[in-house]
Amino acid sequence: MPLSLSIRSAQPLELETDLTVFGVWAFDPSKKLPDAIKDVDEALGGGLLALLKKEEFSGKPDQSLSVPALGRVPTGRIVFLGLGERANVKDPATRTFAAKAGRAAVADKAKSLVVVLPDGLEKYLRAVGEGIELGTYRFTKYLTGDRRPKESLETVTFVAGKKAPADAKKEIALGQKIGQAVNLTRDLSNEPSNILTPAALAAEAQKVAKANGLKIEVFDYKEIQKRGMHLLDAVGRGSANEPRFVHISYTPSKKAKKKLVFVGKGITFDTGGISIKPAAGMGEMKHDMSGAANMVGLMAAVAAIKPNVEVHALLACAENMPDGNAYRPGDVWPSLDGKSVEIINTDAEGRLVLADALAYAAKLEPDLLVDNATLTGACIVALGNTYSGWFANSEDAAHEFSGALKASGEQMWRMPLIEDLRDQLKSDSADLKHMGDRSGGSITAALFLREFIGKTKNWVHADIAGPATSDRASGWNPKGATGHGVLTFVSLIEHAAK
């Protein structure tokens, strides 16, 4: 059941609820209480300032303080969340605040939640709607008995410090839809691989397209072979679960200002193929389709926003397995655009399926082409688990993507396309080797992908291997699949529509 969200102007302590969360701007606890929480102090009988001093709570961004209401007001518990300096709060910080409020409600097993927005946050209501959905996310589909949560959050009431703007409900509702779209990508990524095969992932994309009035084409294995997607064929042929290629598109009712094409890697499970991975950690390879999952969620968000740009999302889906029919190191395979590729290591399969997808995308003649993939461990070595790396073939593309990142608040770092490393892709038996040396591995992967974008002037490659999943809840991300990238892509589309 989806969360029921509402906004009103009211005295928050008069509302009956399981949990009340106050956002608190940074203040000096050695002087006086902020005006926004004086009523709480009075209702609880005083002493709140002394408690804040003792706990060293001053409204900094990562601070929180929980106080039992003890029956003095009609809420079970009151939580204060620091927001930091008012001048520093934009959409990302507001989204984080709302997500933390939602996470606090889940931890408290609350059915109802009141979130008190201090003066200034009424400007960022869409981010509030996004954050509450993202923060309350849990993947509990396969839990049974005592493991299954007994309670779930049902209603959230936002209380505006000032009078809510006229479009408040609309903004919160849009934010909720975008948050739900990101959660959809999380659900897909968290699905076990025995359930989410390439065909099942394509079927999920079809459900989203049908529900949102989007156009969709799904190529089965025969169609993939017929169209000459030989690299996608190579990766998928070792599995009993045949590959799929998915093309979802949105066309605005008015003449589109631009055409944007997004591509996602959809390896629903990656054993490494003949170059098989070590057993430790292999179970996490169910998340190797996170780039394609992002495409499904992105198109759900696009349908909600209805931007005045044409948007295409491509999913290259396969399962990389060892088998008597699997592709091998040393093989030479043709690609969709005609280049021949020598296979070096079958565990570098993602760039192969992306190569055919990018060649297909180039034929759509996009103004901007973006691909995203859990592509290389080298990117994690370079940037850690919380940042993804991105590459651009033009400064125009880099400028657009940088602006989208600033608006979304997602953590990505631009990486260089070092031309000297391209020599590592030279093959004695084919046009290209599909990987280079270990050093600079994320860069040579990007250089390989660039070979397949044709005449596309503006292209961005995002290597999301690190932050596609998280081992702990942080910010608006949960433990497990995060949906990292979707918010940036949404921002990119909205900016293109202006």
Residue 405 CA: distances (Å) to CA of 82, 390, 482, 484, 497: 24, 11, 16, 11, 16
288 is in an annotated binding site: yes
356 is in an annotated binding site: no
Catalytic residue of the set 60, 277, 422, 479: 277
Catalytic residue of the set 100, 103, 244, 351: 351
Inter-residue contact 41 to 190 (CB < 8 Å)? no
Q: How far is CA 314 from the centre of its chain?
A: 16
Inter-residue contact 311 to 249 (CB < 8 Å)? yes
Place of tokens 């996170």: 290
210 is in an annotated binding site: no
323 is in an annotated binding site: no
- Beta strands of 230-347 (E only): which ranges? 244-250, 259-270, 310-320, 332-334, 340-342
Query: H-helix or E-strand containing 83?
Result: strand 75-84
Residue 300 CA: distances (Å) to CA of 181, 327, 400: 6, 35, 22
Structure tokens at 302: 């696009």
Answer yes or no: 277 catalytic.
yes
CA distance 377 to 354: 17
Nearest C-alpha neighbor of 17 from the set 199, 159, 132, 129:
159
The DSSP letter of residue 428 is: S
Q: In what order do the strands lie in the sheet with 64-68?
A: 4-8, 155-160, 112-117, 17-25, 75-84, 64-68
CA distance 476 to 92: 9
CA distance 460 to 453: 10
- Which distant-in-sequence residues (6+ apart) come within 8 Å of 390 by Cβ? 401, 412, 413, 414, 415, 460, 461, 462, 463
347 is in an annotated binding site: yes
Start-end of H helices in 72-194: 91-107, 125-135, 168-190
Phi then psi for residue 5, to 5 deg, are: -110, 140
CA distance 357 to 392: 17
Residue 210 CA: distances (Å) to CA of 195, 200, 203, 419, 479: 21, 15, 11, 43, 30
344 pairs with which residues across the strands? none
Query: H-helix or E-strand containing 211?
Result: helix 198-212
Q: Is residue 19 helix, strand or coil?
A: strand
Burial class (CB in 10 A: 0-12, 13-18, 19+), 181: buried
Known binding residues are 265, 270, 288, 347, 349
Known binding residues for Mn(2+) are 265, 270, 288, 347, 349
Question: Active-site positions?
Answer: 277, 351
